[in-house]
């Protein structure tokens, strides 16, 4: 739904092309008939931005596990089955790699029926595994963590491999753009450590202005990622406390120049921060998968969960430069990147 799935798919395709393969990136929502996928995307975006309690209810009913019979994503996914099978035949694909849970339901359903002739290797890019990722028809699951892999094995008798996340190479290398960001921060607020607040590509966040004011009052420079949400950017631009940013092309440089990331979704921005060596603090998470992912990251020691303002300031205070806690957190984040998922997807 959000840009994180697109970012992962694009990076896997780049790696495949670099090895001489031919990669095709397909949005499963565009395979659904009668504009259904576009409607789902708009509805999800609106609920996350404006009616989070609605999405929390949807997540609880359809995605989170529970007793008794639970709704399945297969009836929706199968509407795209014929078009996906046709694409596989037309492109002569050797493997399909779902990076979105609806796609995993689709490939599992098709493989189980024998309607998909090539293997499917699901790259499960969430820290918290929800039930719509899981389908016994898929051939292999690739997970971010050992904990996620164990969760998949509880429900499916298929091969499961822990690979770690996927980020572009620039996030794991020295960032030449960091110096320019530091200069910009110093000109805006000399001596104030920049703290990055992420609202995702859609600019979905709970009370970002209040969080920015809290950080500014404590001596930090709040830098707010508004994504493509022009309304949020305009609103925060009227706040003197922080520095709001629209869509950022140089994320490696920005992350490398900041003191910490305040995250609300445990998504791709958090993963990129871990790769860069930037500590992550979970605060005011999005409902549903955002809350579960932020909590799971904290339980694994990859971040710290700050449930309120005082806890957020305390967590930031423990992350001063050259402290043992900061060094250990950075080391755990970088150790997450173990294997290239493409290796595990193409050897089926």
The answer to whether the CB of 263 falls within 8 A of the CB of 283 is: yes
Global pTM value: 0.92
Q: In what order do the strands lie in the sheet with 221-225?
A: 243-245, 221-225, 194-198, 260-263, 280-282, 304-305
| CATH (one of 2.60.120.200, 3.60.15.10, 3.40.50.2000, 3.40.50.970) for 170-335 | 3.40.50.2000
Residue 69 has pLDDT above 70, yes or no: no
Residue 70 has pLDDT above 70, yes or no: no
Helix axes 268-276, 3-18, angle to 10 degrees: 50
Percentage, residues of the chain above pLDDT 90 = 72
Query: Which among 11, 6, 1, 2 is positioned nearest to 342, based on CA atoms?
Result: 11
Residue 66's pLDDT band (boundaries 50, 70, 90)?
low
Residue 11 has pLDDT above 70, yes or no: yes
Report the Cα–Cα distance between both ends of the chain, in Å, rounded.
Answer: 27
**Average pLDDT score, the chain:** 90
> Residue 230: how many CB atoms within 10 A of its CB?
12
Residue 68 has pLDDT above 60, yes or no: no
User: What pLDDT was estimated at residue 326?
Assistant: 94
User: What pLDDT was estimated at residue 71?
Assistant: 61
pLDDT tens digits, 211-231: 999 999 999 999 999 988 899
> Residue 128: how many CB atoms within 10 A of its CB?
23
CB burial of residue 322 (10 Å; 0-12, 13-18, 19+)? exposed
Cβ contacts of 181 within 8 Å, gap of 6 or more: 194, 250, 253, 254, 256, 257, 258
12-15's contacts with Cβ under 8 Å and 24+ in sequence apart are 12/97, 12/99, 12/123, 12/166, 12/341, 12/342, 12/345, 14/168, 15/340, 15/342
The answer to whether the CB of 279 falls within 8 A of the CB of 329 is: yes
Domain spans, the chain: 3-162, 170-335
Give, in degrees to the nearest 5, the angle at Cα 67 between 64 and 69.
Answer: 85
What's the CA gap between 151 and 295, in Å, rounded?
15
What's the CA gap between 223 and 261, in Å, rounded?
9
Q: Residue range 323-328: average pLDDT?
A: 92
Structure tokens at 136: 């016994």
User: What pLDDT was estimated at residue 41?
Assistant: 79
What's the CA gap between 29 and 317, in Å, rounded?
43
Cβ contacts of 71 within 8 Å, gap of 6 or more: 61, 62
User: What pLDDT was estimated at residue 42?
Assistant: 79
Residue 251 has pLDDT above 80, yes or no: yes
């Amino acid at each position: 739904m959000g840009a994180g799935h697109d970012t992962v798919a694009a990076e896997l395709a780049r790696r495949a092309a670099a090895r001489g393969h031919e990669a095709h990136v397909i949005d499963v929502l565009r395979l659904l008939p009668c504009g259904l996928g576009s409607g789902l995307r708009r509805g999800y975006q609106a609920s996350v931005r404006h009616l989070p309690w609605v999405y929390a209810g949807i997540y609880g009913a359809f995605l989170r596990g529970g007793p008794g019979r639970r709704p399945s994503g297969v009836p929706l996914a199968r509407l795209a089955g014929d078009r996906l099978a046709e694409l596989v035949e037309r492109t002569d694909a050797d493997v399909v790699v779902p990076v979105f849970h609806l796609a995993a339901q689709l490939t599992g359903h098709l493989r189980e029926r024998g309607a998909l002739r090539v293997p499917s290797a699901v790259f499960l890019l969430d820290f918290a595994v929800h039930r719509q990722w899981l389908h016994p028809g898929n051939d292999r699951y690739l997970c971010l963590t050992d904990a996620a892999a164990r969760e998949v094995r509880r429900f499916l008798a298929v091969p499961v491999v822990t690979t770690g996340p996927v980020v572009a190479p620039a996030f794991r290398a020295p960032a030449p753009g960091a110096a320019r960001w530091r200069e910009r921060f110093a000109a805006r607020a000399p001596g104030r450590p920049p703290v990055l607040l992420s609202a995702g590509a859609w600019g979905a966040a709970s009370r970002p202005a209040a969080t920015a004011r809290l950080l500014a009052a404590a001596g930090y420079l709040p830098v707010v990622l508004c994504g493509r949400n022009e309304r949020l950017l305009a609103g925060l631009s009227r706040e003197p406390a922080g520095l709001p940013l629209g869509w950022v092309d140089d994320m490696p440089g920005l992350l490398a120049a900041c003191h910490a990331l305040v995250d609300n979704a445990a998504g791709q921005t958090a993963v990129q921060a871990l790769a860069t060596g930037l500590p992550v603090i979970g605060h005011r998470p999005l409902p549903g998968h955002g809350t579960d992912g932020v909590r799971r990251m904290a339980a694994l020691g990859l971040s710290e969960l700050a449930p309120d303002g005082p806890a957020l300031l305390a967590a930031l205070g423990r992350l001063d430069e050259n402290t043992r806690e900061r060094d250990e957190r950075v080391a755990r984040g970088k150790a997450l990147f173990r294997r290239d998922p493409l290796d595990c997807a193409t050897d089926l």
